[in-house]
């Protein structure tokens, strides 16, 4: 535990030094999808922080949009329009400012606006809650500014619960509207929120979510309350909080992922047996003769980075060249027909400012031609290779299994899958409705459910402990009123970083002003 011995001044502490232990500032970023009861999450989190003698301070990122009606048209008649207007305004702000972290920067500015003496004096014991983050760039900027002094909290709720909550909100302004139409509106909002793949500056909740240090189960008020209580105990120094079996399983899956040298990303998996014993681990890596996958000391080493290219991307490009070449005669305009298949494919797949028509098409999501075995495949085949049973087991995976891995999961007799990062390319729901249930428990189905609890990002912060007894060999006790955060650094070096980030705020405002002037 880090001890802070800093000078206390009029309810805050400054840069002088004194022998008084003063509570630091702490920061929390809520990464939440639309449809979660975030008011209740905020209320429970605030109450939990007060229990450990911290003062919660809400930083609502959309306040900036409300404060500038000259830039953002937020007028609406229905609740559905309200959601659309705020999403469009946020996207526009990111696009015009040319910063996808723009709303996070305005959140930092709120702290300065409410505290006149900053950066010379900070509010001791203040707990700032950023509500809410939708883009990975927002998360990265806040992490760069506040370092270990900020924690990110994911909020999980089953889609059916989020749809139900949204429908009840939409009803406020659309009484008499058909229930199916309201549900369709709710699903549309949720889809936009999760991944606006056709909007370069759009919301990408699914990309931000894996950066969480802790994921709250927001299924209902009871799970929210118990999750927040555990969060407070975990990150405010309870000496005897220990991992759940699920947290341990996901940590091992994350550890396994670090062995991967895949060109795209690292994915890990861990299989536990029916009695929760470890069966096998796996990562996405190229298979090696004799079984298993390549390690560093394999000779020759034929991993993808040694070959220098991604075979899946290469074959996908070949498929598109073949397709466009076949369409040149009689199917394409003269201008395009005059180009070579290579030129056509390059233009069609461009994913920059001049985005090609196939850059984010379904064919661009083809994954079948990679040389590596996926992490889940690796774990399942290793279990088979060593004669270890997978029936009725649980598979933990850092990313939701794809449709190819799911068929192996079902065939291996695995009973449950927990995943950390949702995978929007997955066709599991569409292809395996007969054998897989996502976000719910159904008879004769493998249950796929998102992970909740301390994530691998927060695992060592929480569970790596020093001595937990006093000089008389008596076990330590945890007193909430004296609790201290385990994740903060000694000196608030982030004060300088805050100032540096805010130096660009005038430029953001100028760009918005110029854009408004064009109208």
Q: HSE (CB half, 13 Å, CA atoms) of 414?
A: 34
**Degrees, nearest 5: CA angle 467-468-469:** 100
Q: Kindly list the structural domains of the chain, giving each domain's residue range(s) and its CATH number in brackets, ordered by start.
A: 8-76+97-156+211-239+465-507 (3.40.50), 246-305+370-454 (3.40.140.10), 311-365 (no CATH)
Peptide bond into 132 cis (omega under 30): yes
Nearest to 203 by CA among 111, 93, 59: 93
Measured CA to CA, the distance from residue 258 to residue 256 in angstroms comes to: 5
Measured CA to CA, the distance from residue 88 to residue 123 in angstroms comes to: 34
**What tokens does 125 get?**
């014991």
Q: What is the largest CA-CA distance in the chain?
A: 89
Measured CA to CA, the distance from residue 205 to residue 167 in angstroms comes to: 20
Q: What's the pLDDT at 496?
A: 86
Q: What's the pLDDT at 1?
A: 37
**What are the helix (H) ranges across 119-235?**
136-146, 159-170, 179-194, 205-208, 221-235
**What tokens does 73 get?**
């048209």
Q: What's the pLDDT at 79?
A: 92
Q: Are 97 and 508 in contact (CB under 8 A)?
A: yes
Give the number of residues written for the chain: 519
Residues 129-187 have pLDDT tens digits of: 999 999 999 999 999 999 999 999 999 999 999 999 999 999 988 887 888 999 999 99
Q: Are 32 and 41 in contact (CB under 8 A)?
A: yes
Q: Are 34 and 189 in contact (CB under 8 A)?
A: yes
Q: What's the pLDDT at 288?
A: 95
Phi/psi of residue 151, nearest 5 degrees: -115, 145
> In the chain, which stretches have pLDDT less than 70?
1-21, 353-354, 519
The helix or strand, by DSSP H or E, that contains position 154, with its residue range, turns out to be strand 150-156
CA dihedral sign, ordered 422, 426, 430, 432:
negative
Residues 461-479 have pLDDT tens digits of: 999 987 788 787 888 888 9
């Amino acid at each position: 535990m880090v001890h802070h011995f800093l000078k206390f001044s009029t309810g805050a502490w400054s840069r002088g030094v004194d022998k008084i232990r003063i509570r630091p500032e702490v920061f929390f970023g809520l990464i939440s999808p639309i449809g979660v009861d975030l008011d209740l999450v905020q209320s429970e989190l605030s109450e939990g922080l007060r229990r450990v003698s911290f003062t919660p301070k809400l930083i609502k990122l959309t306040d900036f949009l409300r404060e500038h009606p000259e830039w953002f048209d937020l007028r609406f008649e229905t609740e559905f329009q309200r959601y659309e207007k705020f999403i469009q305004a946020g996207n526009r702000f990111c696009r015009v400012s040319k910063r996808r972290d723009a709303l996070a920067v305005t959140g930092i500015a709120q702290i300065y606006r409410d505290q006149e003496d900053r950066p010379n004096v900070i509010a001791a014991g203040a707990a700032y809650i950023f509500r809410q983050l939708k883009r990975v760039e927002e998360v990265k900027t806040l992490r760069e500014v506040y370092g270990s002094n900020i924690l990110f909290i994911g909020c999980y709720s089953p889609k059916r619960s989020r749809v139900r909550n949204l429908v009840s909100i939409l009803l406020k302004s659309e009484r008499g509207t058909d229930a199916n139409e309201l549900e369709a509106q709710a699903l549309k909002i949720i889809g936009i929120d999760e991944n606006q793949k056709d909007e370069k500056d759009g919301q990408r909740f699914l990309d931000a979510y894996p950066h969480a240090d802790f994921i709250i189960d927001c299924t209902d008020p009871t799970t929210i309350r118990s999750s927040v209580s555990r969060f407070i105990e975990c990150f405010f120094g309870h000496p005897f909080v220990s991992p759940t079996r699920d947290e341990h399983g996901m940590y091992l899956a994350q550890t396994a992922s670090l062995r991967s040298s895949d060109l795209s990303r690292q994915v890990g998996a861990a299989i536990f047996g029916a009695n929760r014993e470890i069966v096998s681990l796996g990562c996405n890596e190229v298979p090696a003769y004799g079984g298993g996958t390549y390690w560093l000391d394999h000779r020759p080493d034929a991993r993808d980075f040694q070959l220098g290219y991604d075979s899946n991307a290469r074959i996908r490009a070949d498929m598109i060249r073949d397709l466009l070449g076949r369409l040149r005669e009689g199917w394409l305009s003269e201008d395009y027909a005059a180009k070579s298949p290579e030129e056509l494919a390059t233009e069609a797949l461009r994913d920059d400012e001049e985005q090609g028509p196939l850059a984010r098409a379904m064919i661009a999501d083809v994954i079948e031609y990679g040389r590596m075995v996926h992490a889940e495949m690796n774990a399942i085949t290793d279990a088979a290779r060593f004669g270890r049973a997978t029936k009725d087991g649980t598979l933990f995976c850092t990313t939701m299994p794809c449709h190819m891995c799911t068929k192996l999961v079902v065939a291996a007799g695995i009973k449950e899958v927990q995943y950390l990062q949702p995978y929007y390319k997955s066709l599991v729901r569409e292809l395996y409705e007969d054998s897989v249930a996502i976000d719910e428990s159904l008879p004769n189905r493998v249950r796929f459910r998102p992970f909740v609890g301390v994530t691998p990002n927060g695992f060592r912060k929480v569970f790596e402990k020093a001595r937990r007894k006093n000089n008389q060999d008596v076990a330590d006790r945890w007193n909430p009123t004296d609790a201290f955060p385990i994740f903060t650094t000694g000196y608030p070096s982030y004060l300088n970083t805050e100032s540096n980030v805010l130096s660009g705020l005038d430029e953001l405002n100028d760009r918005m002003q110029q854009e408004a002037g064009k109208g």
